[in-house]
Amino acid sequence: MTIDVVWRAREIGIMKVIGAKNSSVIKLLLLESVIMDGIGGCTGIVIGIALSYVVISLILRFSTSTRFLGFPRRSFVIPITNLTSVITLFHVKLALVLGIAVSVIAGVYPAYRAYRLRPVEVCLEISWLVLVYKYGRHYVQALRSIDLDINRGDVICIVGPSGSCKTTLFNIIEG
């Protein structure tokens, strides 16, 4: 998340200039942290449960065989015949809660860094922006002579039908 704040410093600055409150930026970054680590935690739980069953089956298989990795088994090794994996809902919930708690703790510092970012005074000035795509043998003009001035405190709304390059314009503005 810290690297994410550094990479997104310009985006966060633009959000602040067009009116986003510091509390909104902090909430956004903490929410992103919780979502990313929640997905990672759920994936880890699923992989952990699957691996516990795989490891148990391997232990049972190799403990009853007469050879282990090509070497004869020693006579003092007691074969394991009954081994089960005990995974309770409590342990799954505990792992998920601990994962989310760690993500919140790990997301506080990057959110604080984003809170301290100072937006630029003059946010954005675009003059005569043109974007042309090559589509097969034809050229398509996606953006035609866009002029845009956004000053500190301005609130803007860009509206258009689907496919009118609104997202493309924002990607160009973001850098």
- Express each pLDDT in 40-67 by its tens digit: 888 988 998 899 888 888 877 766 666 6
- Spatial CA neighbour of 14 closest among 91, 99, 114, 131: 114
112 and 143 part of one domain: no
107 and 146 part of one domain: no
pLDDT at 162: 86
Predicted confidence band of residue 90 (pLDDT cuts 50, 70, 90): very high
Domain boundary among 76, 91, 116: 116
Domain boundary among 116, 133, 159: 116
* pTM: predicted TM-score of the whole model, two decimal places: 0.51
- Spatial CA neighbour of 143 closest among 122, 157, 164: 164
77 and 27 part of one domain: yes
Predicted confidence band of residue 27 (pLDDT cuts 50, 70, 90): confident
133 and 111 part of one domain: no
Q: Which is higher by pLDDT, 121 or 26?
A: 26
**Domain extent at residue 7:** 2-116
131 and 153 part of one domain: yes
d(CA 160, CA 106): 39
pLDDT tens across 128-154, in order? Answer: 888 888 888 988 888 888 888 777 677
Q: Which is higher by pLDDT, 85 or 80?
A: 85
Query: Given a cut of 70, is residue 5 above it in pLDDT?
Result: no
- Torsion over CA: 133, 136, 137, 140 (sign): negative
pLDDT tens across 100-127, in order? Answer: 888 778 777 777 777 776 665 446 777 8
93 and 135 part of one domain: no
pLDDT at 81: 67
Cβ-proximal residues to 45 (8 Å cutoff; 6+ apart), any chain: 92, 95, 96
Helix (H) or strand (E) holding 85: none
59 and 93 part of one domain: yes
Helix (H) or strand (E) holding 170: helix 166-174
Report the number of distinct structural domains present in the chain.
2
Predicted confidence band of residue 15 (pLDDT cuts 50, 70, 90): confident
112 and 141 part of one domain: no
Q: In 3-state terms, the chain is what percent helix, strand and coil (to 5)?
A: 55, 15, 30
68 and 35 part of one domain: yes
pLDDT at 122: 46
Cross-strand pairs, 150: 124
33 and 79 part of one domain: yes
Domain boundary among 80, 97, 116: 116
57 and 138 part of one domain: no
9 and 73 part of one domain: yes
pLDDT at 76: 52
pLDDT at 47: 92
